[in-house]
Amino acid sequence: MKRRRLLQAIAASPAAAPALLAQGPGSRLGQAGTAPARIATVPAGEAATPAPRFFSPIQLETLRKLAATLMPPLNGNPGAIEAGVPEFLDFLAGSSPAARQKLYRAGLDHLEAEAKRLHAKSFPSLEDGQIDAILKPMLAPWTYDPPADPRKHFLAAARADIRAATLNSREWAAAASSAPSRRRRGGGGTVGLYWLPIDPTRPA
């Protein structure tokens, strides 16, 4: 019998399973001073890179160019690219309700279509001035309601998300801690009290 099947058979036996799971009758685990040493770990984000899976390759490249334009490195702080924002937004949009997914995909597709229509080039390969000519007419100040035009809405949402994801990135925090004066100029580096799940229930 293979090991996994053996374990399944033991676990299915009401008498045997508790003995196996209890680390043996002589276990002193739980008594004072017997806890094993805490195992150190690193955040996954420090050990690996994200694998984007939501946007198409051209949408992701368009988002990279857009992020670099909207939030470049300033005042010695990292920009959106250095902060891994396009990859983070791929994760965020991919985890989001359909409305945000549609907003992002349609918005990025529109930028690419405009680049082709006006300059016969892909958006990521445009010059800065060409990008400005596409983006600036789409900008609109707003307070509570984002602009009704879906393209302006997309740019408003992307601009806010890219900025927040940059300011709240690990890279930004590292730069700010190495030069506190930068933190004052650019904001960001938020630290706060996080509420853990409070006595959560398990699904029925």
Partner 1 sequence: MPRKTYDVLIVGSGHSGGMAANVLTSKGISCLMLNAGPVADFERDRVTKAAHELPYRGLGKPGDLEHVFQATEYNANTWVSEKEIPYTHGNQTPYNWVRVRLVGGRSLFWARQSFRLSDYEFKAADHDGVGENWPVSLAEMDPFYSRVERILKVTGRKEGLPQFPDGDFAESQEFPQTEAVKRLTAAAQKQGIAVSRMRSAMGENGLASSINLLLPGALATGKLDIAANAVVREVTLDKNTGLANGVLFVDRHSRQEMEARAKVVVLAAGTLESTRLLLNSKIANSSGLVGRYLFDQQYGCTVVASMPEARDGKAKPGMIGGGVFIPRFRNLDKGAKRNFIRGYALPMGTGSTPDARYFPAYGDELQKKLDSYAGSCIQGGIYGEVLPRFENHARINPGVKDAWGIPVLHVDARYGGNERNMAKDAANTMEELYRDAGFEILVKSDRVHPPGYSIHELGTCRMGKDPRKSVLNEWNRSHDIKNLYVVDGSAFVTGGWQNPTLTILALSMRASEHLADQLRAGEV
Which of these ranges, 7-15, 21-29, 48-56, 192-200, lies near partner 1 under the rule CB under 8 A?
A: 192-200
Number of CB atoms found within 10 A of residue 167's CB: 20
Does 196 contact partner 1 by CB under 8 A?
yes
Q: Token pair for residue 86?
A: 């396009």
Which of 94, 84, 18, 28 is closest to 56 using CA atoms? Answer: 94
Q: How far apart are CA 107 and CA 159, in angstroms?
A: 12
Does 161 contact partner 1 by CB under 8 A?
yes
**Whose Cβ is closer to partner 1: residue 34's or residue 143's?**
143
Count of residues that interact with partner 1, criterion CB under 8 A: 51
Q: How far is the CB of 168 from partner 1 (least distance, A)?
A: 4
The answer to whether 112 and 58 are in contact (CB under 8 A) is yes
- Dihedral pair phi/psi, residue 143, rounded to 5°: -115, -80
Q: How far apart are CA 66 and CA 63, in angstroms?
A: 5
Does 34 contact partner 1 by CB under 8 A?
no
> What is the end-to-end Cα distance of the chain in Å, rounded?
35
Does 179 contact partner 1 by CB under 8 A?
no
Which of these ranges, 5-13, 27-35, 49-57, 69-77, lies near partner 1 under the rule CB under 8 A?
A: 69-77
Contacts to partner 1 by CB under 8 A: 43, 69-72, 74-75, 88, 92, 95-97, 100, 135-136, 139-145, 156, 159-161, 163-165, 167-170, 172-173, 185-187, 189-199, 201, 204
